């Protein structure tokens, strides 16, 4: 699956809005994630970097660079390595999706239009697919 130019455009439009509210989106996202999906909490118990706090920014940067392959693969490698080290599994992705998209709606309000929301779901799904695939390879190499 590839992102449509319209989706990339919609995602890029929301990037400055998210940057301006990054802290609020992140706080709300983890609030939803840990309340609704408490099983994800232990994964963050030994969090060594605060990079993940920039999840929304990471996804935005990423989605906005889907046409920039070199940037894409370096970032994927870093994220996939961090995820495998903390035992992130494919089942966790829909939980983060739900928490992130809901948090964005809560914080951005009307600015998070239906069109932007669908674009974000598409962008997240695209990125999740790439990460899950790479993480599967890394898990397989461990055995
Ligand atoms: C498309 C979705 C996701 C993106 C873009 C993303 C992004 C990132 C980034 C940028 C990092 C930091 C990598 C580094 O250390 O350089 C990270 C780490 C991490 N991610 Fe994700 N992530 C995603 C999905 C998930 C999911 C589904 C989970 C599980 C609930 C998860 C849990 C974690 C954990 C536990 C870490 C390590 C945190 C630490 O050690 O500080 N992520 N992720």
User: Each residue of 44-63: pLDDT tens digit?
Assistant: 887 766 656 666 667 667 76
- Our answer on whether the CB atom of 92 is closer than 6 Å to any ligand 1 atom is yes
The pLDDT of residue 39: 96
What's the average model confidence in pLDDT over 101-129?
94
First and final C-alpha spacing in the chain? 29
- Domain containing 71: what range? 5-42+49-142
User: Each residue of 19-40: pLDDT tens digit?
Assistant: 888 889 989 999 999 999 999 9
CA 62, 64, 67, 71 torsion-angle sign: negative
- The residues assigned a catalytic role are 93, 135
CATH number at residue 24: 1.10.490.10
Position in ligand 1 atom list of the atom nearest CA 96: 27
Q: How many domains does the chain have?
A: 1
Of 119, 121, 54, 124, the C-alpha closest to 82 is 54
């Amino acid at each position: 699956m590839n992102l449509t130019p319209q989706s990339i455009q919609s995602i890029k439009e929301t990037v400055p809005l998210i940057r301006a509210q990054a802290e609020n989106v992140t706080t709300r996202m983890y609030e939803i994630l840990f309340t609704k999906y408490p099983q994800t909490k232990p994964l963050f118990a030994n969090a060594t970097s605060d990079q993940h706090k920039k999840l929304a920014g990471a996804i935005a940067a990423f989605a906005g660079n889907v046409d920039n392959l070199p940037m894409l693969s370096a970032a994927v490698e870093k994220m996939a390595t961090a995820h495998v080290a903390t035992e992130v599994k494919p089942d966790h992705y829909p939980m983060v999706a739900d928490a992130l998209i809901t948090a964005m709606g809560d914080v951005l309000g009307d600015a998070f239009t239906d069109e932007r929301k669908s674009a974000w779901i598409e962008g997240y799904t695209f990125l999740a697919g790439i990460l899950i695939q790479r993480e599967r390879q890394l898990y397989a190499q461990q055995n």
